Amino acid sequence: MRSLFVLLSFLIGVQNFYILRKDNSKNHQEITRIAILRVTKEVRKSMDRRFQEPNKLDVKSLARACKKQEHESHFQRGIRVILYYNVMTDLTYSASPHHHFDNEMFKEGKELITKGIHTTIDQMNRNLFDDARKKLGEIMHTLQDFYSHSNWIEMGNTEPCTALINSDENIPNPADKNTKTCEDNPDGVDLKVKKDILERKILTSGYTRKSNPKGKTLNHIIQSLQMLVC
């Protein structure tokens, strides 16, 4: 299982980031691990006024700062389970565009996240912690893909899209299916998101090569652009 995880981690890293990976860009596992550590630290801080932040944010230092050294290995394992199912989403749901916010499936992707949050909480309330970790890993993957597979960052946004986790809020300005979102270059190969799409702040995402309709952007093009700003 451990070696499979290492292998999968490596594969996903290669698939997503080899194109234009910047030195400071992070993959799914790294983003997820940092988020868990930060949130755990903040929760602990809110519970204990005398909590002293560790100098280094890793499992060992955080467990020590929380005075929970005896739970360090459980904490480590819990994080690994979440990371594993995050990574597995690219394999288990490789043919399901809305799990990755591909093909402009914003409504469907959001539904996965909001339903997934409820499922995770319900599983925690029933002490089904590994099921909850699995679901959390999956929805974090989809959430992260929103930023790497859509043009959210290119549109100039510097804040997260709150509509992704808020049922009462609509995803802002998604492109409709007939809107051409991609420039054509002279060779007839679609190269980049159209300037006026960015100026009018229309949200679009990449299409998989199989399902790529004319005038829409190919997935790897958007991903490579996004990596520049991650």
Binding positions for Zn ion, rule: CB under 5 A: 90, 100, 145
Closest contact distance (angstroms) between CB of 33 and Zn ion is 17
**183 with 191: CB under 8 angstroms?**
yes
- Phi, psi values for residue 3, rounded to 5°: -70, -30
- H-helix or E-strand spanning residue 192: strand 190-193
Closest contact distance (angstroms) between CB of 137 and Zn ion is 12
Residue nearest to Zn ion (CB): 100
Residue 138 or 145 having the CB closest to Zn ion:
145
Residue 100 or 135 having the CB closest to Zn ion:
100
CA 60/CA 68 separation, integer angstroms: 10
Residue 41 or 149 having the CB closest to Zn ion:
149
Residue 100 or 194 having the CB closest to Zn ion:
100
Tokens representing 212 are 């790529």
Residue 119 or 144 having the CB closest to Zn ion:
144
Closest contact distance (angstroms) between CB of 141 and Zn ion is 6
Nearest by Cα to 182 from 156, 211, 206: 206
Closest contact distance (angstroms) between CB of 151 and Zn ion is 16
CA 59/CA 100 separation, integer angstroms: 29
- Phi, psi values for residue 105, rounded to 5°: -90, 65
For residue 56, the 8-state DSSP code is: S
Closest contact distance (angstroms) between CB of 47 and Zn ion is 34
